[in-house]
Each structure stands twice: as structure tokens, then as C-alpha cells.
Amino acid sequence: MLLLPKIIQFRAILGLLANQTGNLINYNNLAVDSRTYFKQIRNYLSVLEETFIIDLLRPFFTNKTTELKKNPKIYLIDTGFRNYILNNFNELSFRPDEGEIIELVFIMIVNK
């Protein structure tokens, strides 16, 4: 696998995450699509979460071990930033990702 410079990898990961808002994170697909390593993906996600760009919504299980093993859902917190990354500022009713945006707003309201 040919590795790309880190800024290009980071931008690719942001684009992939913006496109996957509301979905479970697939670390292997992110690594392959952005041409980076799994460990670097985890580092990028950690930085993005700590800077309040993304929110990782972990699944709920009564068994904490199972909860920690399962992949979280990814949400870009700022819809304007997500729109910028996707280059889509159309009205909500004309967007193919209308459901994801509504889910994101609902999740952000509930998590406050």
C-alpha cells in the first residue's frame, strides 16, 4: 500500500467521515480508502473527538466488555463543516443525506 502525505490522509479521512455520518465506523475501510494505517486512523479520530469536531456514539450494552468491543457510530458535530467538506449546501428537502442530518441534529440535542 502506497502511503500518502499526512495532510492528504487527514483530508481523505475527514471526507470519508463526513460521508459516513450516522454509520458505524469501519476502521479497516477507513485505512484502505485513506491509504493509512489503522493506528494512525485511531490517532486522527482521537484528535477529532477531543477538538469537538466529531462525536463517537458508543453502543449501549449491559455487559461493559461487549460495549467496549463494538464499533461506535460517527457524527460530525457541526453540520456546516460537514456541508463544506461534502460541498453540498442545498436545502434539506433536496439532499440525499436528509435522514443523516436530521439524525445528527436529534443526537446532538439529546446528548446536551
Domains of the chain in sequence order: 6-110 (1.10.10.10)
Residues composing the chain: 112
By the 8 A CB rule, do 49 and 55 touch?
Answer: yes
Sequential DSSP letters for 80-94 = HHHHHHHT----GGG
Tell me the average pLDDT of the chain.
87
Q: What does the pLDDT look like over 33-44, one tens digit per residue? A: 988 899 999 999
Q: What does the pLDDT look like over 54-80, one tens digit per residue? A: 999 888 878 877 766 788 999 998 888
Alpha carbons 2 and 30: distance in angstroms, whole number: 15
% of the chain beyond a pLDDT of 90: 37
Helix (H/G/I), strand (E/B), else coil: 77? coil
Alpha carbons 53 and 49: distance in angstroms, whole number: 6
Helix (H/G/I), strand (E/B), else coil: 36? coil
